[in-house]
Structure 1
Amino acid sequence: MEKELSRISRVVIVGGGTAGWLAASHLANKLKPLAENGVKVTLIESPNIPTIGVGEGTVPMMRNTLKDLGISETEFFKTCDATFKQGIKFVDWLDNPTPGQASYYHHLFDYPEISHFDVTPYWLKGLAGEKRSFADSVSQQGIVCDAELAPKLITTPEYEGITSYGYHLDANKFSALLTRNAVERHGVEHIQAHVEQVCLNDDGEIASVITKEAGEISGDFFVDCTGFDCLLLGKAMQVPFVDKSDVLFVDHALTIQIPYEKLDEVIPSYTISTAMEAGWVWDIGLLERRGVGHVYSSKYTSHEAAEQALRDYVGPAFDDYPTRLIKMNIGHREKFWHKNCVALGLAQGFVEPLEATGLLVFDATAKMLASQFPTHKENMAIVAKQFNQRIKLSWESVIDFVKLHYYLSRRDDNQFWLDNRKPETTPDTLLERLALWKTQLPNPLDFYSGYEIFKLENYLYVLYGMEFDTDIEALSHRYPDIDKAKQFFTAMENSAHALTKTLPSNRELVNKILKFGLQKI
């Protein structure tokens, strides 16, 4: 007689914030706790503990998440102080800053068209015009961003765009929206209590957690969303942390929230990332305020100097505004799923929020967990092995991509930048790709893993935004479609300028959404 399988009937998530509630939302959306034979999803959240809130930017994947979770885009804008984001503008990353002459490039959300006719080699040959950037040559979005315009019209339906977009958002308000939606629409049980003890059974699995306010809470499966503390997977189950500070040097962030100086101040529809002597500053425009943060390495600058650099950036009008110092653990867990526990969010790992890595990885891994969640305990080991392999590849690809921005820089105004260009601080996987791309174009086949977070299109924007030199002279005979390429570049430029005459500003469109709402799909 076959042994009866042990069905997973209750998932307990410890920790709230954006990561916790994204996990709860994705799991409940798949596991249907309100349905007959559904899996109960419980989230335990310590009351009155603020979210980290490092980086309040998302990528276009968040649109699919909100739509899948049943949240209307209009509701999202009305509750999260949100604005549109069409990419990231990298300022002074390539060379030492020159007063009054900031250099920049865009990493856009509209991907360059490479599947049918890749114009990259023709851009390298100068056929788009010697002074036209890669982004402006392959996409209309850079010109739209430079004109401070939105990605759509008020008549464009929810979650659709004329150009691709993500969002800037208030992390605390976003968590509150996810909380309400998960509880009311998806049936997540919400318990506000402090977890004081994690109880393991004889097999080393988590049996329950003991809380101060709600007593003992048992479960079949646990999700650790306790932030850098990693109370379940790290402290209770002793899964080691893999430190990556030898590759990515930044280890602190100083943040400040400041109001607009004028009520009608322009809101950029992109994150501004400005390179500094020992790190960089993010500048995110929400509807009612700006969120600014200086990410830096304490090995190469002092906390006092870092704060002064941040205050110099925002200006003397905000000298009295408080800053918040956040210590960041750069790296990831050795395993992400161990026995009956998975870590998500900061408990799983963290690299600096360049390229909106935080929310992107949190959302992607929570979706992955929900999609392959096992029905029975007997299947957990198999699924865990697959999950760990995939997430490890994802983290390694994120680290390579973030390092790329530093490695290609020509800045030498601080040892921070010089050390970032040393091969011994750079993953071999990245060095091998760059060596290959010196004499041949980056190719989709170079990205053979389906679990790389950043792919060819992302690399193209950064490589050629930072003037990486690919010598294709020996390959010129492979690219004979010169007239076709010239027509493409001309059409792209004309299309971009046409959009500048029709699209509203970011602030104008958000204000219209708040007043009228967007069309339902």
Structure 2
Amino acid sequence: MAKVINNVLVVGGGTAGWLSASILAKQLNSISPDAVQVTLVESPNIPIIGVGEGTWPTIRTTLENLGIDEGEFMRECDATFKQGSQFVNWAETPKGDETQSYYHPLSAVFHSSYDFNLAPYWLLGNAADKAYDQAVATQAYVCDQGLGPKKITTPAFDAIQNYSYHLNANKFAGFLAKHSTEKLGVTQIKANVTKVNLDAEGFIRSVETDTAGEQVADFFIDCSGSKAILADGALDIPWLKIDDVLFNDTAIAMQVPYESADTPIATHTIATAHEAGWTWDIGLHNRRGVGYVYSSKYTTDKRAEEVLREYAGPMSEGIEVRKIPLNLGYREKFWHKNCVAIGMSAAFIEPLEASAIFLVEAAANMLADQFPRTLDAMQYVEEKYNSTFRLRWDKSVDFVKLHYCITKREDTPYWVDNCATESIPEALQKRLAHWKTHPPTKYDFDYAYEPFVLDSYLFVLYGMKYDVDISVNSSSFARTEEAVKKFKSVDNVNEMLTRELPTHRELVEKVYKYGFPKL
């Protein structure tokens, strides 16, 4: 008889470990003693960084499926609402104190671009000279006004404007640990893994720990972060670096308090371009998480800290800065024999578009949906999983690179080199060449699980002022009257949202106090 997989061991906690364990336990009904059992072993002394982290709207579905109360989650994890990202000074070199910016909102557009793409009509001048993000989406306006994405009377996880969260990742991991062990059947072990044991065929048989003895399982998930105890240490799966495409190799971060208890909270991530990288600015309930992602080839750590402190302002005085090495790349294989790497043990791309937690969700969901109950079924699932996630990571690299390679900034070698043809993936080069005369369409995104789709590319391309000339195709776009009506409808909805939506801080404070009504 084929060997049955009854026990899963997750090595490593954090967001990746506890999210994977929770999703798997819920899907496989681990609360039942005769179902697949999920155990997580994590070190009791992992250092806390706590820089603040962004998510994608998919996290709402994930939390709801796990049976989590939205208000409780937000309160326990210092969470606020995220409605998109604002990119400051990416398109052009800033002149003096002047800044220019654009939004990549989460409510993509006022309607579906897959049904009616407004981009060519905007390019042809039918939107009253508005910036693209303001012309086609209400959420850029909502972010500018500091408004929340819903009302306190809106049911839990429902949205008026699409949203995700900014959260304290360390508190989130602890919150998931409590929920999954108390309600989903996950077993938690606090111990350090000291050795990994393989069988004669190279499958992982067990791990040995310093305080909990040997832990035997049928299937293993490596969520041990950059250490990659299983994927690298035991299975020796090669790491493919992408530093020839994405140059940043270091981050420094700090936690900056608000000036007062009523300081407005940004409802979007603020990503500001600097001389050798960019800063993130994430507003949590009680503080800002601020950091600088940069390339050590183009600047020094000392200069990087000066840039960060200058950006963060007077409230950063005396606050410790933490340095985080970044090893950008991904595994040659994510699933090998009876082990899957998820999170930073599998891949890491700089956090420009906050894809890290989303890709953990996607990995855990795919594993749970097609979990092989026997060893014989594993090979087929492994091949599908590896091909899917290789494509997902390649597409993620392309999209992050897009932000760098179409800039008009030439003020430092960092930005000049980012536009060099040899640093741009070939697939992205082909797309960009075509899009100079033909606006992107849904047919450019034919893979069902592509992380960044049509609207995301449109916001970045036209927010970055990509040079295009579609005059050769202008006669092909004959729905001008309908397009103008849609552009005008954005203004009408903006007026309504201004009347109806509370400020972001007001909404967060009410959520913490009252929670949301349940359907």
- The equivalent residue for 1:19 is 16
Offset at 1:501? 2.0
Distance 1:317 1:271 in 2: 19
Distance 1:51 1:338 in 2: 30
3-state SS of paired residue (1:501): helix
- The equivalent residue for 1:123 is 122
Offset at 1:98? 2.2
- 1:304-330 CA distance string (max 9 Å, x none): 110111111112342210011000110
Offset at 1:51? 4.8
Determine if contact 1:447/1:455 at 8 Å carries over to the other structure. Answer: yes
- 1:284-323 CA distance string (max 9 Å, x none): 0011011001000011100111011111111234221001
Offset at 1:100? 2.8
- The equivalent residue for 1:392 is 390
| Match 1:247 to one of 220, 223, 245 | 245
Determine if contact 1:332/1:349 at 8 Å carries over to the other structure. Answer: yes
Amino acid in structure 2 at the alignment position of 1:121: P
Distance 1:366 1:100 in 2: 45
- The equivalent residue for 1:505 is 503
Residue identity over aligned pairs, in percent, reads 47
Q: Which moved more, 1:332-341 or 1:111-120?
A: 111-120
- The equivalent residue for 1:376 is 374
Offset at 1:115? 2.8
- The equivalent residue for 2:460 is 462
- 1:26-84 CA distance string (max 9 Å, x none): 11011112225300100001002135555511111111111111101111111111111
Distance 1:343 1:349 in 2: 9
Distance 2:412 2:114 in 1: 40
- The equivalent residue for 1:323 is 321
Determine if contact 1:55/1:356 at 8 Å carries over to the other structure. Answer: no
Amino acid in structure 2 at the alignment position of 1:416: Y
Offset at 1:187? 0.3
Q: 1:35 aligned to 2:32?
A: yes
- The equivalent residue for 2:406 is 408
1:133-172 equivalences in 2 (<5 Å): 133-172=131-170
Determine if contact 2:181/2:188 at 8 Å carries over to the other structure. Answer: yes
Offset at 1:201? 0.7
Distance 1:51 1:175 in 2: 11
1:32-431 equivalences in 2 (<5 Å): 32-53=29-50, 56-112=53-109, 113-130=112-129, 132-431=130-429
3-state SS of paired residue (2:76): helix
Offset at 1:116? 2.7
- After superposition, the Cα gap between the structure-2 partners of 1:118 and 1:369, relative to the gap in structure 1 and judged at 3 Å, is same
3-state SS of paired residue (2:96): coil
Offset at 1:111? 1.5
3-state SS of paired residue (1:500): helix
- 1:3-30 CA distance string (max 9 Å, x none): x121100000000000000110111011
- 1:218-240 CA distance string (max 9 Å, x none): 00000001101111011110100
Q: Which moved more, 1:239-248 or 1:310-319?
A: 310-319
Determine if contact 1:193/1:214 at 8 Å carries over to the other structure. Answer: yes
Distance 1:148 1:91 in 2: 17
Determine if contact 1:136/1:493 at 8 Å carries over to the other structure. Answer: no
Distance 1:294 1:326 in 2: 10
Amino acid in structure 2 at the alignment position of 1:124: L
Determine if contact 1:168/1:285 at 8 Å carries over to the other structure. Answer: yes
- After superposition, the Cα gap between the structure-2 partners of 1:36 and 1:231, relative to the gap in structure 1 and judged at 3 Å, is closer
Q: Which moved more, 1:341-350 or 1:92-101?
A: 92-101
- 1:199-256 CA distance string (max 9 Å, x none): 1111011100000000000000000011011110111101000000110000111000
Distance 2:74 2:194 in 1: 37
- The equivalent residue for 1:444 is 442
Amino acid in structure 2 at the alignment position of 1:117: F
Distance 2:192 2:55 in 1: 29
3-state SS of paired residue (1:7): coil
Distance 1:36 1:187 in 2: 9
- 1:415-455 CA distance string (max 9 Å, x none): 11111001101100100100111111211111122231111
Name the TM-score, length of structure 2 as normaliser: 0.98
- The equivalent residue for 1:492 is 490
Distance 1:50 1:177 in 2: 17
3-state SS of paired residue (1:99): coil
- After superposition, the Cα gap between the structure-2 partners of 1:115 and 1:451, relative to the gap in structure 1 and judged at 3 Å, is closer
Determine if contact 2:117/2:441 at 8 Å carries over to the other structure. Answer: no
Distance 1:44 1:505 in 2: 41
Determine if contact 2:257/2:315 at 8 Å carries over to the other structure. Answer: no
Distance 2:52 2:283 in 1: 11
Note the aligned Cα RMSD (angstroms). 1.1
Distance 1:490 1:307 in 2: 45
Amino acid in structure 1 at the alignment position of 2:330: H
Amino acid in structure 1 at the alignment position of 2:364: A
Determine if contact 1:51/1:171 at 8 Å carries over to the other structure. Answer: no
Distance 2:364 2:33 in 1: 23
Offset at 1:136? 1.0
Amino acid in structure 2 at the alignment position of 1:154: I
Distance 1:485 1:456 in 2: 18
Distance 1:366 1:308 in 2: 39
Name the TM-score, length of structure 1 as normaliser: 0.98
